Each structure stands twice: as C-alpha cells, then as structure tokens.
Amino acid sequence: MLPFRTVLVTGGSGFLGRKIVAKLKEEGYYIFAPRSSQFNLETNEGVDDFFQSCKASQNPIEAVIHSAAYYGGIGINQKDPAGLIERNTRMTTNIFRACATHGIKKIVSVGSACAYPGHLTDIMEEKDIFNGRCHDSVEAYGFNKLIHLVFGKAFYKQYNVAFNQVALTNLYGPYDVFNEERSHVVAAVIKKIVDAHLGLTPPPTLWGTGTPKREFLFVDDAASVIADSLKWPTDLEPINLNGEEITIRELVDLICEIVGYKGKILWDSTKPEGVMRKCLSGEKLKHFITFPYHPISLKKGLKLTIEWYMANKKEADARL
C-alpha cells in the first residue's frame, strides 16, 4: 500500500526528476511534475498558486519530493556562487512555506555530498554533516543542502511535516546536462572525449591532476531510492546514498576505453579539483530502504550513458 496518493516532484522534467517521476508512476502514485513555465519555484506567489490549484482539483498534493535545483560543476560554483545560494534558497523557502500552509504530509529533500565538511578525508557518515564548513569549491551549493536540513527539522517540529533527506553522490546517466557551463564531471568528461574521438576538437584538457577519488551513481538507482524514501519514517539527519568509488583518472581511462578514444589526455594542474576524497557511508541506508537494492555497475552505467549521448549528441549538447 502506498503511503500517499499524490506527489509533487519539483524539477520533474530534469535529469534526476524525470527518473523519479517515471519510478513513482510505475509504483502507482498520481504525480504532479510541472515545468518551470507552469510553476515558478522562485516566487512565493507562483508556488502558492500551484498548490492552491491542486487543492481545488480532486487531487490535492499530499507529499513533495524537492529535486529542483540550480546547479553545475566546479566552474559554475566559481562563476556564480551568489546565484547558487540565492536561487536555491529562495526555492527551498517557498516550497517549505507552501507545504506548511497547505497541509502537506511529507517532504523529501534531495541532498548532496557537497554539504559535508570539506576537511573530511575518511568515509563520511551522516553524524558528520554539521561538523565543519563545506569545501570552498562547492560551498554555495552545498550550504543550501544544509539549509534543507534546518528547514526540515524546524517544519517537522512546528508543523508536523514529515521529512527525509537523501544525500546523493555524483550522478550520471542518459539525459544528463552535457553543456560545458553546467555539466558535472562524468558528463563533462564524456563530452570532451567523444568530441576529440570524432575529430571535433583537439585532445581534451581536463582540470586538476586526476588523483581525487569520487563516487558515481547511476541516475535510475538514485531515483528508485528517492521514490522509496516516501515510505521511510522521519529522520532529521541526511541518509546517504553512496556509489562506486574511483579516481578521476581511472574514470577518464574507463570512458576512453568505452568510447574507443586512443588519443592524448592533457591535465591542467593549475585548475581546481576539489577535495582529495569524497566518499559517503552507505550503512544507515540499510536500515531504511524497503526493497532489494542492487545498483548498476559503473562500467555498465557509463556504457549506457555514452551510447545514449552519441545517439542524441545534438540534443544533449543543446540542453542547459
């Protein structure tokens, strides 16, 4: 039996959101996933009006999965930190306020490993989340995910809105953002290597040294766990969803192997590369998840992603 009948997914047409929507529909939920043209998350009036229109229909919203965000890689964190904190915090404020006003029963927040303290070098556990500042390279984005947690605790205590945050590692998969300004590491590397392989660009230059370790998680696996979180009891700390750990250089080698690229890879060590290791503990998740969870391997997930990208390159490169 489903815990709720109707669910709003913010960012429901985005990279992660569309997969969450598909999973929820498969499970039998009634879904609202409006585009930004229908539902302006950055204005209180726009959010309130949408909730009110749903209430006036026969399908009032019962739960919200807040996956919408303004985001990007290290480049956009350097270029527009003010936009990252301002726009994302505005969306967060408006969503939580509307949930309290309209009697929403539960909010699921999509969190991030970026919210963890930048000084941590060991596997990161949920209890560590407030034990230091986010790394400077991702501070504006990561801090907003901490704000989600503070909102979740406050609104649970004051308005009895149930809350969970699923803290994600680096996602990848079909329909990712491959635009150079906004792409994360996997999509950025795939684009550079495919372009070089097709002779569209010179050998790619990648940021840093390739030595940092990161985890990577296929987007469909993330969506399945986030959908499942609607069934979980409230927890006011994040619940990590970890991935497969690998160095950036090993990731690049694996992508080159799948693409068939045998040319040079250049590394620009003057560019930032973030913390040396960002790895999430997955132990807590085992006490919450309600289905047999068997994530796809990184190699298989990369192969699916690269095949999709090469078949849809023009569309993918144009997506912002």
Active site residues: 141
Cα–Cα distance for residue pair 17/14, rounded to 1 Å: 5
Cα–Cα distance for residue pair 184/91, rounded to 1 Å: 21
Cα–Cα distance for residue pair 123/139, rounded to 1 Å: 19
Reading the block at residue 24, the tokens are: 């929820």
Cβ count near 262 (within 10 Å): 8
Beta-bridge partner residues of 278: 214
Those residues whose C-beta lies under 8 Å from the C-beta of residue 107, and which sit 6 or more positions away, are: 63, 64, 65, 66, 95, 96, 99, 152, 155, 161, 162, 163
